[in-house]
């Protein structure tokens, strides 16, 4: 078993370049199976989720090569199976999307139930309703979804609530469905737009006609392409908060500022100074006090749910009482008990709201949706258990902020989404080691 040993208290300083976006790389790998021709992708992050997905595709007969130069080459001309049995499938939320190219290629598909981080039940009812409306027959039994298509039709579908992956599923399916499909209340996340850009570079006809409306005119065939995926906005947030928490100064490169407006505004509201130039974000984390904040997560362009955990950590260093209300996932505070172990003052609070992105019937009465944070508190190093990906990065930042030593278990969650995380932190001056054994 591997873990991180971290000694906190070191200001992080220097330059870091953010990787390509995880949540585009995974989708583009799947969408690349929609053509028989070669697809070449640049700027792919070398993360375990991508390697796991590539293995699943290889088992189906597809060719995927991922190079240390961050290039990925996909060739699906040899794809021969429409039935997924690989056990790591269930760990990846994005893997459900594999259903789409398999259906397009074989008119039928069988895939296991997909999962992802344990941050909620994560149902896919909104996608299933949309696919059913297009004529796809779906059934579920013994842990597998079976799907088949006899006649597929373009459609006009309105998502009941926002769904990032669900929107991507319907876009991919409609790209090769004759006629015009209109998706209303469709997700607006920049990662969705990058997938649209990728599909259009393969010859698809997809456009966003209004903020939350997407129009897809089906084409007969998609062709090969050469595409560079966008930078990961979550990495920007992680490194920015690392600078502030450790009272350091970091220059973050390859940043797309337009994807981060809400984050920048939140930083400014908390009194944190940022400087931006072309694709660089400079964070001066030495300024104190940090002001408290009241934030609710939301879909784009709101305050992203993936920033919720590191922001709560930041608020442990802010003056006064802050509040964080998680509205996208119903169970995304799994890291709070670990921060409390370190001395953070965070308690669940009840806020009356019906305005959640998850389905209320999936909510368990043990879940809480908001916390109150009293700061500033001095954090102390501890043995920590990582419950999920973003919580993992957060707990590493907490350990870097704290006095003394911490040991972090469950670091495979971090490998899923951050390339060489500890190495890159080390280059910024962090005292962090990846160690084997108990």
Q: Counting contacts by CB under 6 A, is residue 359 touching ligand EPU?
A: yes
Q: Provide the CA 228 distance to its chain's centre, in angstroms.
A: 18
**Contact criterion met (CB below 8 Å) for 56 and 88:** yes
Q: Provide the CA 352 distance to its chain's centre, in angstroms.
A: 27
From 21, 74, 84, 124, residue interacting with ligand EPU (rule: CB under 6 A): 124
Cα dihedral 304, 309, 313, 316, rounded to 10, equals: 80
Q: Counting contacts by CB under 6 A, is residue 232 touching ligand EPU?
A: no
Q: What is the CA radius of gyration of the chain?
A: 22
Q: Counting contacts by CB under 6 A, is residue 332 touching ligand EPU?
A: no
From 9, 14, 61, 123, residue interacting with ligand EPU (rule: CB under 6 A): 123
Looking at the Cβ atoms of 328 and 428, the one nearer to ligand EPU is 328
Q: Counting contacts by CB under 6 A, is residue 19 touching ligand EPU?
A: no
- Using CB under 6 A, which of the segments 7-15, 118-126, 137-145, 220-228 binds ligand EPU? 118-126
Per-residue binding string, ligand EPU, 293-312, x by CB under 6 A, is ------------xx------
- Using CB under 6 A, which of the segments 5-13, 116-124, 336-344, 376-384 binds ligand EPU? 116-124
From 166, 190, 375, 392, residue interacting with ligand EPU (rule: CB under 6 A): 166
DSSP H or E run through 40 = strand 39-42
Q: Counting contacts by CB under 6 A, is residue 390 touching ligand EPU?
A: yes
DSSP strand E in 86-193: where?
108-112, 136-141, 144-149, 156-158, 180-184
- Using CB under 6 A, which of the segments 31-39, 314-322, 328-336, 407-415 binds ligand EPU? 328-336
375: nearest Cα among 431, 293, 300, 296: 293
Q: Counting contacts by CB under 6 A, is residue 235 touching ligand EPU?
A: no
Q: Counting contacts by CB under 6 A, is residue 251 touching ligand EPU?
A: no
Helix 48-59, helix 22-31: angle, nearest 10:
10
147: nearest Cα among 175, 176, 111: 111
Q: Counting contacts by CB under 6 A, is residue 189 touching ligand EPU?
A: yes
Q: Counting contacts by CB under 6 A, is residue 177 touching ligand EPU?
A: no
Q: How many residues make contact with ligand EPU (CB under 6 A)? A: 29
Residues whose CB falls within 8 Å of the CB of residue 51, separated by 6 or more in sequence, listed in order = 66
Describe the strand order of the beta sheet including 405-409 as a list of residue ranges. 383-385, 405-409, 2-7, 431-436
> Which residues in this chain contact ligand EPU in the complex, by CB under 6 A?
22-23, 93-94, 117, 120, 122-127, 162-166, 189, 305-306, 328-330, 357-359, 389-390, 417
């Amino acid at each position: 078993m591997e873990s991180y040993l971290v000694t906190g208290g070191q200001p992080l300083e220097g330059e870091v370049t953010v990787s390509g976006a995880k949540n585009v790389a995974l989708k583009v790998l799947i969408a690349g199976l929609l053509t028989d021709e070669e697809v070449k992708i640049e700027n792919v992050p070398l993360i375990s989720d991508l390697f796991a997905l590539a293995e699943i595709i290889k088992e189906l007969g597809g060719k995927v090569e991922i190079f240390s130069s961050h290039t990925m080459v996909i060739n699906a001309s040899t794809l021969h199976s429409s039935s997924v049995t690989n056990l790591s499938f269930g760990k990846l939320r994005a893997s459900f999307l594999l259903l789409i190219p398999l259906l397009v290629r074989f008119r039928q598909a069988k895939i296991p139930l997909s999962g992802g981080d344990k941050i909620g039940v994560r149902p896919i009812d909104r996608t299933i309703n949309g696919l059913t409306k297009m004529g796809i027959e779906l059934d579920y039994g013994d842990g597998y979804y079976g799907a088949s298509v006899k006649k597929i039709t373009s459609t006009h579908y309105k998502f009941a609530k926002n769904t990032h992956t669900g929107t991507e599923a319907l876009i991919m399916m409609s790209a090769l469905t004759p006629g015009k499909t209109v998706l209303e209340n469709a997700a607006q996340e920049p990662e969705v737009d990058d997938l649209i850009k990728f599909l259009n570079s393969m010859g698809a006809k997809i456009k966003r006609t209004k903020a939350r409306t997407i129009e897809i005119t089906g084409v007969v065939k998609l062709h090969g392409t050469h595409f560079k995926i966008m930078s990961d906005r979550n990495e920007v947030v992680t490194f920015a908060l690392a600078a502030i928490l450790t009272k350091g100064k970091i220059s973050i490169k390859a940043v797309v500022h337009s994807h981060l407006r809400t984050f920048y505004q939140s930083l400014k509201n908390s009194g944190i100074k940022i400087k931006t130039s072309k694709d660089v974000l400079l964070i001066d984390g030495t300024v104190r006090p940090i002001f408290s904040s009241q934030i609710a997560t939301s879909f784009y362009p709101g305050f992203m749910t993936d920033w919720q955990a590191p922001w709560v950590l930041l608020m442990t260093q802010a003056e006064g009482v802050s509040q964080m209300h998680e509205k996208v996932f119903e169970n995304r505070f799994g890291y709070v008990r670990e921060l409390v172990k370190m001395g953070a003052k965070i308690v669940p609070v009840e806020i009356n709201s019906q305005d959640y992105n998850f389905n209320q019937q999936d909510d368990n009465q043990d879940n809480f949706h908001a916390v109150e944070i009293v700061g500033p508190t001095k954090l102390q190093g501890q043995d920590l258990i990582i419950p999920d990906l973003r919580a993992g990065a957060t707990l590493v930042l907490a350990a870097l902020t704290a006095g003394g030593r911490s040991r972090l278990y469950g670091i495979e969650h971090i490998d899923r989404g951050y390339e060489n995380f500890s190495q890159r932190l080390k280059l910024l001056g962090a005292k962090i080691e990846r160690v084997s054994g108990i």
